[in-house]
């Protein structure tokens, strides 16, 4: 029987990729610097912030005095729709094609000093509603085949502005990771007649060793194949392909779970916990996707403290992903944390 104390590999059935787990390395002494990071304080409104209500953005447009969420086309978009069809295909070694798309920014709140865990569930529900509307609107376009909704939180995750916001990149073709997930989910569905994540979630609920938090409609867990130290996966209990298939209770439940999960992240090291997170929904290619099961990934880099981070270097760049802290240990730590934000406790 496999021992979780010995080096071993774990398969990610969503992508077909493997991760090396080396739990004994978690016991090695840390001689690097570990500091207590002072809490970040920001004003509710920052006149220099290009995302605050009423302010002028870097591209010259002025934001409205928005009271809730606010969506606009990215002033410095990575994708734009008016791209002439062109490419390079001299032979199989030199291939390139233009890629049309749309990039948007979603401000979660007019408050400059908030993040998702500090927002009430009702406000997060409005964010979920906007995600749903944007996926439906952009996905209905004939030139869009995939809609990626995501959030980069924290400067170390490449977030250039601390104002609470996320992004949408919608493009013509399916990106590599969703394409791999689509292929794996489709093969599983064709063999079993059930969604891969539906069956996986049932097994995780039975085992109850990697569950972080849950409600009637969503579950947050550390996946068996997690790469990042405190990586989590949010899965809908009902196998739906995208946000538009959720009813009102399920959308509120998603907002509730996001607040509870991200609060745990902040409480882990008592900092505004950085991460990259994103929804994976069915392709918007006009075809049915019964194999696709709505889920959301959270990839946080913090390992031992607010100053000790996980980086993909050396073996991971040249061989395969590797982790020291087992997913079971990470889930136990997250599960044990309070759902009251540490800033409230300290007040």
Is residue 151 within a helix (H) or strand (E), and if so which, with residue range? Answer: strand 146-153
Categorise residue 158: left if φ over 0, alpha if ψ from -120 to 50, beta otherwise: left
Average pLDDT over residues 78-99: 86
pLDDT of 196 over the 90 cut: yes
pLDDT confidence tier of residue 232, bands split at 50, 70 and 90: very high
pLDDT of 334 over the 70 cut: yes
Structure confidence by residue, pLDDT tens digits, 308-325: 788 888 988 899 999 989
Give all domains of the chain, ordered by start, each with its CATH number: 40-346 (3.30.428.10)
Instruction: Report helix, strand or coil for 129.
Output: helix
pLDDT confidence tier of residue 326, bands split at 50, 70 and 90: very high
d(CA 78, CA 73): 11
Instruction: Report helix, strand or coil for 244.
Output: helix
Mean pLDDT value across the chain:
92
Q: Are 279 and 131 in contact (CB under 8 A)?
A: yes
Question: DSSP code of 29?
Answer: P
pLDDT of 110 over the 50 cut: yes
Query: What is the layout of strands, in order, in the sheet containing 8-12?
Result: 8-12, 17-21, 322-323
pLDDT of 77 over the 90 cut: no
Structure confidence by residue, pLDDT tens digits, 174-193: 999 999 999 999 999 999 99
Q: Which of 81, 115, 106, 241 is nearest to 168 (CA)?
A: 106
Name every residue whose Cβ is closer than 8 Å to that of residue 294 and which is 6 or more positions away in sequence: 235, 236, 239, 240, 241, 242, 243, 245, 246, 279, 280, 281
Q: Are 282 and 170 in contact (CB under 8 A)?
A: no
Q: Which residues pair with 89 in a beta bridge?
A: 95
- C-alpha angle 10-14-16 in degrees, rounded to nearest 5: 55
pLDDT of 37 over the 60 cut: no
Q: Is 293 a catalytic residue?
A: no
Average pLDDT over residues 193-222: 98
Average pLDDT over residues 330-341: 96
pLDDT of 216 over the 70 cut: yes
Question: DSSP code of 55?
Answer: P
Among the options 112, 146, 163, 165, which is catalytic? 165
Exposure b/e, 218-232, CB count within 10 A at least 16 = b:
bbbbbbbbbbbbbbb
d(CA 232, CA 230): 6
Res 340: pLDDT: 96
Q: Are 216 and 270 in contact (CB under 8 A)?
A: no
Record the pTM.
Answer: 0.94
Tokens 């302010």 found at: 55
């Amino acid at each position: 029987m496999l021992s979780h104390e010995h080096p071993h590999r774990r398969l990610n059935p969503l992508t077909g990729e493997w991760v090396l787990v080396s739990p004994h390395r978690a016991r090695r002494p840390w001689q690097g610097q570990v500091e207590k990071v002072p809490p970040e304080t920001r004003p509710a409104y920052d006149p220099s912030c290009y995302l605050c209500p009423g302010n002028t953005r870097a591209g010259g447009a002025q934001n409205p005095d928005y009271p809730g969420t606010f969506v606009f086309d990215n002033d410095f978009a990575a994708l734009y729709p008016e791209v002439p069809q062109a490419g390079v295909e001299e032979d199989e070694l030199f291939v390139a094609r233009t890629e049309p798309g749309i990039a948007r920014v979603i401000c979660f709140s007019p408050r400059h000093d908030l993040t998702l865990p500090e927002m009430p569930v009702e406000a997060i529900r409005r964010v979920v509603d906007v995600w749903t509307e944007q996926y439906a609107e952009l996905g209905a376009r004939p030139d869009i085949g995939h809609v990626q909704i995501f959030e980069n939180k924290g400067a170390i995750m490449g977030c250039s502005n601390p104002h609470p916001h996320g992004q949408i990149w919608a493009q013509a073709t399916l990106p590599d990771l969703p394409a791999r997930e689509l292929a794996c989910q489709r093969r599983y569905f064709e063999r079993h007649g059930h969604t891969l994540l539906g069956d996986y979630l049932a097994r995780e609920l039975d085992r109850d060793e990697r569950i972080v938090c849950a409600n009637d409609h969503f579950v947050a867990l550390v996946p068996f194949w997690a790469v990042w130290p405190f990586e989590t996966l949010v899965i809908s209990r009902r196998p739906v392909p995208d946000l538009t298939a959720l009813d009102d209770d399920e959308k509120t439940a998603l907002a509730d779970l996001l607040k509870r999960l991200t609060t745990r992240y902040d409480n882990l090291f008592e900092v505004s916990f950085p991460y990259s997170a994103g929804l994976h929904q069915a392709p918007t290619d006009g075809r049915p996707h019964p194999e696709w099961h709505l889920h959301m990934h959270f990839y946080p880099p913090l390992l031992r403290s607010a100053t000790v981070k996980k980086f993909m270097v050396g073996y991971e760049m040249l061989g395969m992903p590797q982790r020291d802290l087992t997913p079971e240990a990470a889930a136990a730590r997250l599960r044990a944390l309070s759902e009251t934000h540490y800033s409230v406790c300290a007040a």
